[in-house]
Structure 1
Amino acid sequence: MNNFTFQNATKIIFGKDTEQLVGKETALHSKKVLLHYGGGSIKQSGLYDTVVQSLQENGVEFVELGGVKPNPRVSLVREGVALCKEQNIDFILAVGGGSVIDSAKGIAAGAKYEGDVWDFYTGTPIETSLPIGVVLTIPAAGSESSAGSVITNEDGWLKRDALHDSLRPQFAILNPVLSYTLPAYQTACGITDMMSHILERYFTTEKNVDFTDRLCEGALKSIIHNAPIVLEQPTNYDARAEIMWAGTIAHNDLLGTGRTGDWASHNIEHEISGIYDIAHGAGLAIIFPAWMKYVYKHDVQRFAQFANRVWNVEIDLNDLERTALAGIKKTEEFFQSIGMPITLSEANIDDQYFREMARKATERWPIGNFVKLHEEDVYNIYVLAK
């Protein structure tokens, strides 16, 4: 196990009606905030009115910036940065899912910086940012308590990430009821996203990490158990609660303590959703099994353990490779069972940009830690996913 420091300062406020506390929580940090959200769904659901009323009752002034799209755009982030500087805003309140939160984080970092905010997504270190609060509506990305932000630049359709502890929200309000009205496809994309966050940490080359292995496996099994329930019974509070909390834990860094995660699959997928603008979770459902097929021989024992502990595949001591492959197949079948595509062709993506995407994914350095992947490796994974 690696040495590690774990600190996550995000205050989680979980449960029914907790969105009514947003004004009280926000007032502890600021009296003038940027209210950041996506399309019209929070207005249609009544959540917008609840948030506005709570802010007003607690004396919090706000300036609005809506319009966040999936795979959030740097152009809107730049607009938000300018607004914060013009209006002397010192807190960002994100109401929405991972795209809204990631956009808010970009604004928070850019508002404290004299250069272009895209610098942070191309290697310039973040030194500080405005504080952020969250009302979560889509359990998926885990951005509500993570230190990361992912943004897409329309100039070249580059999708890149930035990391800094100051990007962890001060508080995150999680009411599973707010996810009741999500379309089944969006729910499934979120489930795939959170599972992928766990898998990125699970496939490590570190030895003697049994405790966090078991945490990862338990989280995966809980998601796998509850996923069909929420898809069949969208208003099942208990199942929704399990999924929402699992999505947060999947990406708050607890499951990665003492181990080095991989993260190649995320980088490979970012090139797909950067160009084709598909849902990140759908892209991960396609790429993760292909990545598994490409690298499993690097540590067949770990893949056999995954098959056994997560998918209940009996270990064949005489043929661990067969066990490992059975686990990969089970993963693919699960994604398919919840309505996810498992090939690029299902997502209407051909091989036109395979070379370009492979080059862009590795243009700064080889990606991945479980196995270091170069341009040709990434290209081959796209071909496997075809």
Structure 2
Amino acid sequence: MHPYTLHLPTRLVFGEGAIEKLPELTKDFGKKVLIVMGGGSVKRNGILGRARELLRDRRIFELSGVEPNPRISTIRKGVEICKKEGIEWLLPIGAGSVIDSAKAIAAGAFYEGDAWGLVLDSSKIKKALPIFVVLTNAATGSEYDDSGVISNLETDEKLPIGSPLLAPVASIMDPAYTCTVPPKHTAAGAADIFSHTIEQYIVADGNILTDAMCEGMLKTVIECTPRVLKNPNDLDARGQLMMASSFGCCGLLTIGRTPTPWPCHAIEHEISAWHDITHGEGLAVITPHWMRWSLTEKTAPRLAQYGVRIFGLDPRAPAMENAEKAIEKTSGFFRSIGIPATLSELGVTDEHFEAMADHVLSHWWPLSGAFRPLDREGILAILRASL
């Protein structure tokens, strides 16, 4: 079994009405709070109003308009507010993009240079403001990890930022707050959870415990996503997807396994950097094509195991046959929840594929450690097959 280190400092507060604990959770963290949010949904559904009421004894500042692929230009605005007003803690109310923005703002508040410098080199993060989260969609897992992803439209880059200092102090998770998420974003969030799990499950060496964890995560997404798309008010299914979101990207699924360089995320980040598509949709397109490219006689047994345990394929069938069927069933699941099957349907062309491949190799973790070692030609092959 591979060595591992795991530290999960964030407190998860789950359940209907969990936001009522916000005053108690934050009572020792100061009076000046910056609420970070996206569009107007948290205003329309009453979440923002309730947070304001609960924090009526604090001095509240607001930053709205965070984009689905959060931009450094918005982070700069948040940093400016923090420095000017002496903000003491942050309250992102929203999904992954809002939380990621808050993380970058939290670090930028103590950095003398431009916040993009912290994205390019997260080792420069020496201090950060405390973060408390009110989650509104099950997707990225940013509510329970110490990293985020930020886009720079000036350079066509979408890169990770991460530091142990960026883990939220606490994340409040009420499944009722996800009921008004549109079907498109519900499905994209589920695809994101699915991809997080696959990236950690489909590796050379697993182990009994984390194989079972990954398989439980995948089964949860496959079972619960159709339920919430059919009945948006299914709180049990919503809650299970929230749980899967949190545990999908916190490091728990990686323990004792072959380290993963997250090849699907490496490729998708380039696509959404150039085309600003929805992250989960891009992952849903890329993931089956990465599987197909990775399938060899050597890798077939792991993909076959996936097919047998997740989709109930015949364990007596040849590994290659089950692996190929598992890949088709993966594509079929994404189509069944309404996600486009090709990049072309998302408005992506091959115009920047060469630049994307070069940027992956120069800015991402080494892909030589992927399930099947991935080079420039492999990246291009996956991109072209995904069109």
**TM-score normalised by L of structure 2:** 0.96
Shift of 1:118: 1.2
Shift of 1:18: 1.2
Whether the 8 Å CA contact 1:10–1:172 is kept in 2: the answer is yes
Shift of 1:190: 0.4
CA RMSD of superposed structures (Å):
1.4
Q: Which runs of 5+ in 1 are unaligned?
A: none
d(CA) in 2 for partners of 1:62, 1:75 = 22
Q: Which residue of 2 aligns with 1:162?
A: 161
For residues 40-63 of structure 1, give each alpha carbon's deviation from its aligned partner in whole angstroms, at most 9, with x where no partner exists: 11111111110000011xx22221
Q: Which residue of 2 aligns with 1:94?
A: 92
Whether the 8 Å CA contact 2:18–2:173 is kept in 1: the answer is yes
Aligned ranges for residues 21-32 of structure 1 at < 5 Å? 21-32=21-32
For residues 113-153 of structure 1, give each alpha carbon's deviation from its aligned partner in whole angstroms, at most 9, with x where no partner exists: 22222122223413332110000001101000111110000
Q: What amino acid is aligned across from residue 136 of structure 1 in structure 2?
A: L
Shift of 1:271: 0.8
Q: What amino acid is aligned across from residue 373 of structure 2 in structure 1?
A: K
Q: Which residue of 2 aligns with 1:118?
A: 116
Structure 1 position 236 matched with structure 2 position 234: yes
Q: Which residue of 1 aligns with 2:282?
A: 283
Q: Which runs of 5+ in 2 are unaligned?
A: none
Structure 1 position 2 matched with structure 2 position 5: no
Whether the 8 Å CA contact 1:23–1:51 is kept in 2: the answer is no
Structure 1 position 380 matched with structure 2 position 384: no
Q: Which residue of 2 aligns with 1:108?
A: 106
- Runs of 4+ off more than 3 Å: none
Count of residue pairs brought into register by the alignment: 382
Shift of 1:256: 1.3
Q: What amino acid is aligned across from residue 63 of structure 1 in structure 2?
A: F
Q: Which residue of 1 aligns with 2:199?
A: 200
d(CA) in 2 for partners of 1:176, 1:361 = 36
Q: Which residue of 1 aligns with 2:372?
A: 371
Q: Which residue of 1 aligns with 2:54?
A: 54
Q: What amino acid is aligned across from residue 371 of structure 1 in structure 2?
A: R
Shift of 1:227: 1.0
d(CA) in 2 for partners of 1:184, 1:43 = 19
Whether the 8 Å CA contact 2:31–2:59 is kept in 1: the answer is yes
**Greater mean deviation of Cα atoms: 293-302 or 45-54:** 293-302
d(CA) in 2 for partners of 1:328, 1:79 = 43
Whether the 8 Å CA contact 1:24–1:55 is kept in 2: the answer is no
Q: Secondary structure at the match of 1:363?
A: helix
Shift of 1:217: 0.3
d(CA) in 2 for partners of 1:363, 1:375 = 11
Whether the 8 Å CA contact 1:204–1:262 is kept in 2: the answer is no
Q: Secondary structure at the match of 1:35?
A: strand
**TM-score normalised by L of structure 1:** 0.96
Aligned ranges for residues 141-180 of structure 1 at < 5 Å? 141-180=140-179
d(CA) in 2 for partners of 1:129, 1:372 = 36
**Greater mean deviation of Cα atoms: 353-362 or 319-328:** 353-362
For residues 232-291 of structure 1, give each alpha carbon's deviation from its aligned partner in whole angstroms, at most 9, with x where no partner exists: 000011111111111111112111112212401001000111111111000000100111
Whether the 8 Å CA contact 1:27–1:60 is kept in 2: the answer is no
d(CA) in 1 for partners of 2:288, 2:223 = 20
Q: What amino acid is aligned across from residue 385 of structure 1 in structure 2?
A: S
Q: Secondary structure at the match of 1:144?
A: helix
> In structure 2, which of residues 61, 64, 84 is the aligned counterpart of residue 63 of structure 1?
61
d(CA) in 2 for partners of 1:346, 1:315 = 35
Change in Cα spacing, 1:371 to 1:30, as seen in structure 2 (3 Å) is farther
Change in Cα spacing, 1:3 to 1:226, as seen in structure 2 (3 Å) is same
Change in Cα spacing, 1:364 to 1:372, as seen in structure 2 (3 Å) is farther
Q: What amino acid is aligned across from residue 127 of structure 2 in structure 1?
A: T
Q: What amino acid is aligned across from residue 172 of structure 1 in structure 2?
A: S
Q: What amino acid is aligned across from residue 383 of structure 1 in structure 2?
A: R
d(CA) in 2 for partners of 1:140, 1:334 = 17
Whether the 8 Å CA contact 1:262–1:370 is kept in 2: the answer is no
Q: What amino acid is aligned across from residue 381 of structure 1 in structure 2?
A: I
Shift of 1:112: 1.8
**Greater mean deviation of Cα atoms: 259-268 or 45-54:** 259-268
Structure 1 position 44 matched with structure 2 position 48: no
Whether the 8 Å CA contact 1:32–1:91 is kept in 2: the answer is yes
Q: What amino acid is aligned across from residue 40 of structure 1 in structure 2?
A: G
Q: Which residue of 2 aligns with 1:324?
A: 323
Change in Cα spacing, 1:372 to 1:121, as seen in structure 2 (3 Å) is farther
d(CA) in 1 for partners of 2:5, 2:30 = 29
Whether the 8 Å CA contact 1:344–1:350 is kept in 2: the answer is yes
Identity of aligned residues (%): 40
Q: Which residue of 2 aligns with 1:254?
A: 252
d(CA) in 2 for partners of 1:316, 1:346 = 37
Shift of 1:89: 1.1
Q: Secondary structure at the match of 1:362?
A: helix
Q: Secondary structure at the match of 2:260?
A: coil
d(CA) in 2 for partners of 1:371, 1:364 = 19
Q: What amino acid is aligned across from residue 155 of structure 2 in structure 1?
A: G
Shift of 1:24: 2.6
d(CA) in 1 for partners of 2:122, 2:38 = 27
d(CA) in 2 for partners of 1:315, 1:348 = 39
